[in-house]
Amino acid sequence: MAYIKNTWYAAAWSHEITRDMLARTIANEKIVFYRTESGEVAALEDRCPHRFVPLHLGKLKGDIVECAYHGLCFDASGACTLNPHGDGKIPRAARVKAYKVVEKHSIAWLWLGEAERADESLIADFSVLTDPSFQTVSSYLHVRANYQLISDNLLDLSHGQYIHPMFANAEGPPRFEPEKEPADHEVWAKFSRPNQYPNKYFQMLGYPSDQRGDHRNFMRWSSPSLLLLDVGMTGVGRPVEEGLSIPTSHLLTPETDCTTHYFWAMSRDFRQEDVALSEQLLRVGVAVFDDEDKPVIEAQQRMIDNSELMSLNPVLLQTDGPAVRARRVVEARLQAEQAS
Amino acid sequence: MAYIKNTWYAAAWSHEITRDMLARTIANEKIVFYRTESGEVAALEDRCPHRFVPLHLGKLKGDIVECAYHGLCFDASGACTLNPHGDGKIPRAARVKAYKVVEKHSIAWLWLGEAERADESLIADFSVLTDPSFQTVSSYLHVRANYQLISDNLLDLSHGQYIHPMFANAEGPPRFEPEKEPADHEVWAKFSRPNQYPNKYFQMLGYPSDQRGDHRNFMRWSSPSLLLLDVGMTGVGRPVEEGLSIPTSHLLTPETDCTTHYFWAMSRDFRQEDVALSEQLLRVGVAVFDDEDKPVIEAQQRMIDNSELMSLNPVLLQTDGPAVRARRVVEARLQAEQAS
Amino acid sequence: MAYIKNTWYAAAWSHEITRDMLARTIANEKIVFYRTESGEVAALEDRCPHRFVPLHLGKLKGDIVECAYHGLCFDASGACTLNPHGDGKIPRAARVKAYKVVEKHSIAWLWLGEAERADESLIADFSVLTDPSFQTVSSYLHVRANYQLISDNLLDLSHGQYIHPMFANAEGPPRFEPEKEPADHEVWAKFSRPNQYPNKYFQMLGYPSDQRGDHRNFMRWSSPSLLLLDVGMTGVGRPVEEGLSIPTSHLLTPETDCTTHYFWAMSRDFRQEDVALSEQLLRVGVAVFDDEDKPVIEAQQRMIDNSELMSLNPVLLQTDGPAVRARRVVEARLQAEQAS
């Protein structure tokens, strides 16, 4: 399966990258991440070019990785700095690929493609994750399904009515507002429930259960698979700013063709100091994503085996519009990249 | 691997199909079974045509299956009856295959092929299973081997002498009577032990250990893999009716190319009220099929890997005659079906 | 993957072959070993030609193997001696391959190729294993990696500095002496540490920790993958005979393309009666090979997947010379065998 190379992937939460080497496969490329002594993130091909032992099995000495097997040393640029054997000559081919990584919004963003095209300004806006006026809880989930099956899930939140008791509503699935504009790098999937009683989630967050209001679930998808949900509830007809708002980040990174790194976070601009609420939100997120979405998406993956979903001619509903648009954006970028 | 479609497969014991959905793969087709409110058996393709989530993960509401993911609803005919989203239109392609199922002899029989050719009278006779003059114990076994390896086993009962201590006999393997007639939909494999002392099985059933008699093991195979064993013992030269008789049913249904659903039952027309004997027979059956046949057949499957047995040119003995005939019947029907 | 057939493989330690049948796969061939009543080693294709059940599931009766399934009997020559069914005729094709096995140096050596070319004098010299002036401890290790990845490991002992704390030395990796002569059936890989303090291994064996000496690690490789390490330490400039010597045998036998039987032994000509030292050496060997080499080699195998190492263009260092030479010998013999 082909992946867009010249784009930013969420490789890790910043806090995951330390002085202990972290091995992680991204879009089928095996990579070892570590933090240099000066605090930068280094990302190297996780395979010694000598005998192909994973570098993460070795030792980090200063900013240098020493291979576990025969002690070849590589610096953060991927250059071999020491061959401790025989005449000590370093063969020209003795180097590993070094990847460009940028830290922003508490995420380590990885560029798989040509380093000279790695433009930081292309990173989608997830500033909410580090905005001091928000309190954020975050986690990581490993899913045995292709990343696009998960973005399909997130771009059609009507599933909440069926899969997530906490998000279901007595009046049925939400109203869907189809997008009019053609998609470029972004797709919006807007679901709303005007003038309804709060679901269990908003009740938990403090919205009075006997009071109607306007719910919104506006999902922003950025290529290749970075999603930010503007989810909130406010009084009927009242401005958004008055109500509860919990921007929720979903960063999907293909690991292999059939597995995905799923980084998620829930931010809020109310009761920021309430530790119990933070813990509760984390528990809810784990319950919803791990226990409710994941089994269904993995069953879907097993059902389609290794096929590409669209090649199986799925029946399409109106609510699939955003997911289909997003897949088209990815496909177009892939083809453009392969053509050039 | 190809399977005969226009034939009846044993899909389940009738009692297995309830108001809880049962997912079962038959000849590589994933199917969900349930009982409608009126008690009929419904069998649907176990894959929502929208996002390919298995339907059995959803909810049964009346006779309707609601998909777990986005709530599409399907009735027992496979038609989509509700799209709860957007404009609510039901796409023409939104349907799943519905299979013809007939209940007979306590078995739910499944027809994989063209519904209009599903003729109930073609179901092989297993009326002994529900005959009130017989008491029957039954069970289910999952075997990691192709179904034909199991029918080979059952069509050459000379293996009992080696694999099953309970069926072995001091005078060695049984006498084999080759069939003369060409096989059509049925094959007979007749083994007998005239004028011998009873094996442990017949001793357990009450045949005096110091008294000679005539044993018989007459296996009837019906296409594609439904076997009924007429097994019994009577006094030397005495008519069959006088002796013990335990007709034993073996219903083999391919699950995948290398796995099989094995439904078996032992019926008897004596000591019908003897609950302890029923329990003992069940224990013996489990010991014989699960613990003795299954490991050998699964080892055989691993040895031939995914190859078709006959393509490996096995050495053939006289006692393989029935198994070879049965395989030829299947092959001929398959070719006929593929030609038409 | 192709394997040299006309060569001797270490199939088992002699003591492993008893009156209980031993199933072992060698170079992808499934073989059953047993000892005849007269004490000879028999080795038969582990697959009954009738229904392909592994023969080792059957019974050993005298020198005869009776198949578990239908009781066909085979003698140590592979001939079928009994068909207990029907007319009892033995089909001409009813035989299994019998392999030539020779016991020498406490090893059962297997010849996969043409029996008439099986020349005992071609067995590499491992007489140290049974030499009464040596005490030997031995063991067996199953490795999930191609056998050549392990011989690569053993032919480049510079890895000891990095993987094995017990073999590491304060002055760094050992000196490598490249071979000058072209390789035929043997390759030598000579590493030494002249005039250094002993590593932990030699300290454990009694070499004074404050006394310099000359270490040597001279590995002899014999085709296809039989290695004998002359490892020892003696006073600076003193003759080898004065010092400690622990010839270490490494017999690598391909099981499948990605798994290996690894038979190893440590022999010594000092403190032969010291049982505690024997136990300590065994523990060290297990720690070094099982816990230190094996994980790295298996990680290497997973990294290269099923590829042949050299096809991936590894960077070569001077110290890879012997491993490359050994691979060339194997490749040349393979090609010669396939040409003839």
* Structure-token pair, residue A147: 């990343």
Helix (H, G, I), strand (E, B) or coil at A92: coil
User: Cβ contacts (< 8 Å) between B303 and chain C: which residues?
Assistant: 30, 47, 52-54
* Structure-token pair, residue B119: 């003729």
DSSP track, A106-122? TEEEEE-S-GGG--GGG
Q: What percent of chain C has pLDDT over 90?
A: 96
- Confidence tier at C313 by pLDDT (50, 70, 90): very high
Task: Verify whether the Cβ–Cβ distance B303 to C68 is below 8 Å.
Answer: no
> Is residue C319 within 8 Å of C156, Cβ to Cβ?
yes
Q: From the CA of B178, how many Å to the nearest CA of chain A?
A: 46
Whole-angstrom distance, CA of residue C245 vs CA of residue B50:
72
> Is residue C293 within 8 Å of C285, Cβ to Cβ?
no
pLDDT of residue B210: 96
Q: From the CA of B141, how many Å to the nearest CA of chain C?
A: 20
> Is residue B17 within 8 Å of B28, Cβ to Cβ?
no
> Is residue C93 within 8 Å of C79, Cβ to Cβ?
no
What are B101-156's pLDDT values in tens digits? 999 999 999 999 999 999 999 999 999 999 999 999 999 999 999 999 999 999 99
Smallest Cβ–Cβ distance between C57 and the set B296, B314, B320 belongs to B296
- Options 3.40.1440.60, 3.40.630.10, 3.40.30.10, 2.102.10.10; CATH of B8-122: 2.102.10.10
- Confidence tier at C185 by pLDDT (50, 70, 90): confident
- Confidence tier at B179 by pLDDT (50, 70, 90): confident
Side-by-side strand order, sheet with A8-13: A8-13, A107-111, A100-104
Side-by-side strand order, sheet with B8-13: B8-13, B107-111, B100-104
What are A106-156's pLDDT values in tens digits? 999 999 999 999 999 999 999 999 999 999 999 999 999 999 999 999 999
pLDDT of residue A306: 87
Smallest Cβ–Cβ distance between C54 and the set B161, B162, B303 belongs to B303
> Is residue C211 within 8 Å of C243, Cβ to Cβ?
no
User: Cβ contacts (< 8 Å) between C172 and chain A: which residues?
Assistant: 84
Mean pLDDT in residue range C223-234: 96
What are B38-81's pLDDT values in tens digits? 999 999 999 999 999 999 999 999 999 999 999 999 999 999 99
Task: Verify whether the Cβ–Cβ distance A309 to B52 is below 8 Å.
Answer: yes
Q: From the CA of B24, how many Å to the nearest CA of chain C?
A: 29
Average pLDDT, chain A: 96
Side-chain half-sphere exposure of C170, counting CA atoms within 13 A = 9
Strand partners, A60: A65
Q: Inform me whether the C-beta atom of residue B276 falls under 8 Å from chain C C-beta atoms.
A: no
User: Cβ contacts (< 8 Å) between B296 and chain C: which residues?
Assistant: 53, 57, 68-69
DSSP track, B288-313? IIIIIIHHHHHHHHHHHTTS-GGGG-
Helix (H) or strand (E) holding A338: helix A321-339
Q: Inform me whether the C-beta atom of residue B300 falls under 8 Å from chain C C-beta atoms.
A: yes
Helix (H, G, I), strand (E, B) or coil at A254: strand
What does the DSSP 8-state code read for residue C174? P
- Confidence tier at B185 by pLDDT (50, 70, 90): confident
Mean pLDDT in residue range A272-285: 96
Smallest Cβ–Cβ distance between A85 and the set C176, C299, C300 belongs to C176
- Confidence tier at C221 by pLDDT (50, 70, 90): very high
What are B265-313's pLDDT values in tens digits? 999 999 999 999 999 999 999 999 999 999 999 999 999 998 999 999 9
Axis-axis angle for helices B147-155, B321-339 (nearest 10)? 140
> Is residue C117 within 8 Å of C244, Cβ to Cβ?
no
The burial of C118, by beta-carbon neighbours within 10 Å (0-12 exposed, 13-18 middle, 19 or more buried), is given as buried
What are A17-34's pLDDT values in tens digits? 999 999 999 999 999 999
Which residue out of C31, C57, C65, C85 would a mutagenesis test of the B interface target, given it has the greatest number of B Cβ atoms within 10 Å? Answer: C85
Q: Which chains touch B (3 or more CB pairs under 8 A)?
A: A, C
Q: Inform me whether the C-beta atom of residue B61 falls under 8 Å from chain A C-beta atoms.
A: no
User: Cβ contacts (< 8 Å) between B158 and chain C: which residues?
Assistant: 70-71, 84-85
| Of C79, C81, C87, C53, the residue nearest C67 (C-alpha) | C53
Task: Verify whether the Cβ–Cβ distance A162 to B83 is below 8 Å.
Answer: no
C224, pLDDT greater than 90: yes
C277, pLDDT greater than 90: yes
Q: Inform me whether the C-beta atom of residue C315 falls under 8 Å from chain A C-beta atoms.
A: yes
Query: What does the radius of gyration of chain C's CA atoms come to, in whole angstroms?
Result: 22
pLDDT of residue A179: 86
> Is residue A254 within 8 Å of A151, Cβ to Cβ?
no
Smallest Cβ–Cβ distance between A71 and the set C173, C176, C313 belongs to C173
What are C126-152's pLDDT values in tens digits? 999 999 999 999 999 999 999 999 999
pLDDT of residue C182: 75
Q: Inform me whether the C-beta atom of residue C226 falls under 8 Å from chain B C-beta atoms.
A: no
**Nearest 5°: CA angle at A315, between A311 and A319?**
115
Q: Inform me whether the C-beta atom of residue C248 falls under 8 Å from chain A C-beta atoms.
A: no
Smallest Cβ–Cβ distance between B85 and the set A176, A295, A313 belongs to A176
pLDDT of residue B338: 92
Q: Inform me whether the C-beta atom of residue C276 falls under 8 Å from chain A C-beta atoms.
A: no
pLDDT of residue A183: 78
Task: Verify whether the Cβ–Cβ distance A173 to B30 is below 8 Å.
Answer: no
Whole-angstrom distance, CA of residue A50 vs CA of residue A294:
39
Task: Verify whether the Cβ–Cβ distance C53 to B317 is below 8 Å.
Answer: no
Task: Verify whether the Cβ–Cβ distance A84 to C172 is below 8 Å.
Answer: yes
**Nearest 5°: CA angle at A77, between A75 and A81?**
35
pLDDT of residue B25: 98
Strand partners, B228: B220, B249
Fold of B127-339: Naphthalene 1,2-dioxygenase Alpha Subunit; Chain A, domain 1 (3.90.380)
pLDDT of residue C183: 78
Smallest Cβ–Cβ distance between B53 and the set A158, A178, A300 belongs to A300
Task: Verify whether the Cβ–Cβ distance A317 to B52 is below 8 Å.
Answer: no
Query: Which residue ranges make up each domain of chain A?
Result: 8-122, 127-339
C83, pLDDT greater than 80: yes
Task: Verify whether the Cβ–Cβ distance C156 to A84 is below 8 Å.
Answer: no
- Confidence tier at A180 by pLDDT (50, 70, 90): confident
> Is residue A284 within 8 Å of A204, Cβ to Cβ?
yes
User: Cβ contacts (< 8 Å) between A162 and chain B: which residues?
Assistant: 66-71
pLDDT of residue B32: 98
pLDDT of residue C179: 85
Q: From the CA of A27, how many Å to the nearest CA of chain B?
A: 23
Q: What percent of chain B has pLDDT over 90?
A: 96
Residue A224, preceding peptide bond in cis (omega within 30° of 0) = yes
- Confidence tier at B183 by pLDDT (50, 70, 90): confident
Smallest Cβ–Cβ distance between A50 and the set C161, C178, C314 belongs to C314
Q: From the CA of A290, how many Å to the nearest CA of chain C?
A: 29
Residue showing tokens 């309804």: A196
Amino acid at C310: M
Same fold flag, A8-122 and A127-339? no
Q: Which residue of C has its CA nearest to B318?
A: C86
What does the DSSP 8-state code read for residue A79? B
Strand partners, C249: C228, C265
Whole-angstrom distance, CA of residue C62 vs CA of residue C76:
10
The size of the A-B interface in CB pairs under 8 A is 72
pLDDT of residue C247: 97
Q: Which chains touch C (3 or more CB pairs under 8 A)?
A: A, B
Whole-angstrom distance, CA of residue B91 vs CA of residue A119:
43
Cβ neighbours of A26 (radius 10 Å): 22
Task: Verify whether the Cβ–Cβ distance C69 to B296 is below 8 Å.
Answer: yes
User: Cβ contacts (< 8 Å) between B53 and chain A: which residues?
Assistant: 296, 299-300, 303
- Confidence tier at A282 by pLDDT (50, 70, 90): very high
User: Cβ contacts (< 8 Å) between A93 and chain C: which residues?
Assistant: 313, 315
User: Cβ contacts (< 8 Å) between B67 and chain A: which residues?
Assistant: 162
Smallest Cβ–Cβ distance between B162 and the set C54, C71, C83 belongs to C71
Smallest Cβ–Cβ distance between A317 and the set B50, B57, B66 belongs to B50
What are B283-292's pLDDT values in tens digits? 999 999 999 9
Whole-angstrom distance, CA of residue B53 vs CA of residue C55:
44
Smallest Cβ–Cβ distance between A49 and the set C152, C300, C314 belongs to C314
Q: Inform me whether the C-beta atom of residue A304 falls under 8 Å from chain B C-beta atoms.
A: yes
pLDDT of residue C184: 82
- Confidence tier at C340 by pLDDT (50, 70, 90): confident
Task: Verify whether the Cβ–Cβ distance C159 to A52 is below 8 Å.
Answer: no
User: ipTM score of the complex?
Assistant: 0.94
The torsion defined by the Cα of C116, C121, C123 and C127, in degrees rounded to 10, comes to 150
User: What residues 66-105 of chain B have any CB closer than 8 A to a CB of chain A?
Assistant: 66-71, 83-87, 89, 91, 93-94
Strand partners, C220: C188, C228
What are A82-120's pLDDT values in tens digits? 999 988 999 999 999 999 999 999 999 999 999 999 999
Smallest Cβ–Cβ distance between B94 and the set A178, A299, A315 belongs to A315
B182, pLDDT greater than 80: no
Whole-angstrom distance, CA of residue C66 vs CA of residue C32:
12
Q: How far is CA B319 from CA B154, B178, B299, B323, B332, in A?
A: 11, 8, 21, 8, 21
